[in-house]
Amino acid sequence: MTAHHRFDDISIEDLVAQGSMKWTRNEGHLAAFVAEMDFGTAPAVSEALHTAIDHAQLGYLPPAVKTDMSQATSDYLTSHYDWKVAPGQIYPTADVLSAYTVVLETLSRPGAPVILPTPAYMPFLTLTPARGREVIQVPMIEGENGRLEMDLVSIAQGFEQGAEMFILCNPHNPLGRVYSREELEALAAVVDAHQGLVFSDEIHAPLTFPGHRHIPYASLSETTAHHTITATSASKAFNIPGLKCAQLIVSSPQHHETLEKVAFMVSHGAATPGVMANTAAYQSGGPWLEDVLSYIDTNRTLLADLLEKHLPQMGYRAPEGTYIAWLDATGLPPVAGDRSWAQFFSDEARVALTDGALCGEAGVGHLRLMLATPSHILEKIVIAMADAVANAQS
């Protein structure tokens, strides 16, 4: 028995009444499909938002607010990852996906394909072709102790086929991997040998579990600093993606020169209250986040126990970081028929999950499930899924 936590008192009715996208998109469903937490946000973030309203800080981004965020991010990177980045190299931007679009269009060779390890965060597979670029999907391969790792041989082949940019997602959505220094160094050697460019999506960086440490890819060496553009935000860890603020971190002088010319485009979408909220999260959100992480840590073990008890054919490896669980449904009895497993569980269990196929070919037969929910809801989700499988078999 774990000790009672205040998040245990949050009910489904509370969450539906709050009216989030997560809890209102699929009426009558248990919601586990979108990367949002059910825990609100840090008191420091709420205070910053009240200050924004009280001081009518609702206009375009004032220079001092921008500078404060760059400084707070720089301090956070130094204190958490020992990565020293001058505040002038940190741009506010609306979100990681718009930062990706700007980087794709201004720093990577027009028309060149993009290499993406799969399964991957879904929009990279749709946004990239929407910008006229082919995605070279490189399925992750089973490595040490069955964990999934980047396939460096196929990544090298992707560069040889004409790709220039590689999308690194660390900590990884949806696999929950937190790459080790050795893995990142091995990737760096391949990228360097092919003079590639890395878009390093580190939006989940503050969300790592004991035994795993986030290493910013650009911080590895001068070489990686020169071939990387990093995007991060307080939005996942502090549950504020609707506030529209992320950080684009530029660690190469050449990239800096190019991006300065489009700095307006990079930063125009960043919302002033969101920038203030990110500053507050980085400066003072630590105690809240520590509590949240320890709750999610319990949930990632609880999910293993629940699956073992109720749905043992479902494959699951606890994430090393993020609050995303990647479920392997390929061992389940074939009761879904022509439907994807996500559709089956939506129809038969009233549980909303992400269809792994949206994460690339390597994700077919898999599901994404969010762990940042009260434990009693996680339990309901697994039992509803298990009952649906049992009913379909009988």
Ligand X SMILES: Cc1ncc(COP(=O)(O)O)c(C=O)c1O
The residues of the shown chain that bind ligand X, judged by CB under 6 A, are 35, 95-97, 121, 169, 173, 201, 203, 233, 235, 241, 246
In the complex, the smallest distance separating the C-beta of residue 155 from ligand X, rounded to whole angstroms, is 18
Number of residue whose CB is nearest ligand X? 95
In the complex, the smallest distance separating the C-beta of residue 361 from ligand X, rounded to whole angstroms, is 19
Burial of 297 (0-12, 13-18, 19+ CB in 10 A): middle
3-class secondary structure per residue, 212-254: CCCCCHHHCCHHHHHCEEEEECCCCCCCCHHHCCEEEEECCHH
Burial of 81 (0-12, 13-18, 19+ CB in 10 A): middle
Our CB check for ligand X shows the closer of 35 and 336 to be 35
Closest to 14 in 3D by CA, of 34, 1, 31, 33? 31
Our CB check for ligand X shows the closer of 169 and 218 to be 169
8 A C-beta contact, residue 100 and residue 108: no
Q: How far is CA 307 from CA 112, 173, 333, 383, in A?
A: 43, 21, 15, 9
8 A C-beta contact, residue 30 and residue 364: no
> From the CB of residue 182, how many other CB atoms can be counted at a distance below 10 Å?
8
In the complex, the smallest distance separating the C-beta of residue 272 from ligand X, rounded to whole angstroms, is 17
In the complex, the smallest distance separating the C-beta of residue 22 from ligand X, rounded to whole angstroms, is 11
In the complex, the smallest distance separating the C-beta of residue 169 from ligand X, rounded to whole angstroms, is 5
DSSP string, 240-307: -GGG--EEEEE--HHHHHHHHHTHHHHHTT--HHHHHHHHHHHHH-HHHHHHHHHHHHHHHHHHHHHH
Our CB check for ligand X shows the closer of 194 and 244 to be 244
Our CB check for ligand X shows the closer of 95 and 164 to be 95
Our CB check for ligand X shows the closer of 138 and 388 to be 138
Our CB check for ligand X shows the closer of 95 and 320 to be 95
Our CB check for ligand X shows the closer of 96 and 358 to be 96
Verify cis geometry, omega within 30 degrees of 0, for the bond prior to 119.
yes
User: Across the strands, what pairs with 208?
Assistant: 321
Q: How far is CA 310 from CA 221, 247, 315, 316, 381, in A?
A: 47, 42, 12, 13, 11
8 A C-beta contact, residue 275 and residue 70: no
In the complex, the smallest distance separating the C-beta of residue 200 from ligand X, rounded to whole angstroms, is 11
In the complex, the smallest distance separating the C-beta of residue 268 from ligand X, rounded to whole angstroms, is 15
In the complex, the smallest distance separating the C-beta of residue 245 from ligand X, rounded to whole angstroms, is 8
In the complex, the smallest distance separating the C-beta of residue 32 from ligand X, rounded to whole angstroms, is 13
Our CB check for ligand X shows the closer of 29 and 172 to be 172
Our CB check for ligand X shows the closer of 111 and 242 to be 242
In the complex, the smallest distance separating the C-beta of residue 383 from ligand X, rounded to whole angstroms, is 26
Our CB check for ligand X shows the closer of 17 and 21 to be 21
User: Running DSSP on this structure, what letter comes out for residue 95?
Assistant: -
Our CB check for ligand X shows the closer of 140 and 349 to be 140
Closest to 289 in 3D by CA, of 168, 175, 204? 204
In the complex, the smallest distance separating the C-beta of residue 239 from ligand X, rounded to whole angstroms, is 11
DSSP string, 173-209: TTT-----HHHHHHHHHHHHHTT-EEEEE-TTTT-B-
Half-sphere exposure of 10 (CA within 13 A, CB side): 18
Helix or strand or coil: residue 43?
helix
* Dihedral sign computed on CA atoms, order 285, 208, 369, 312: negative
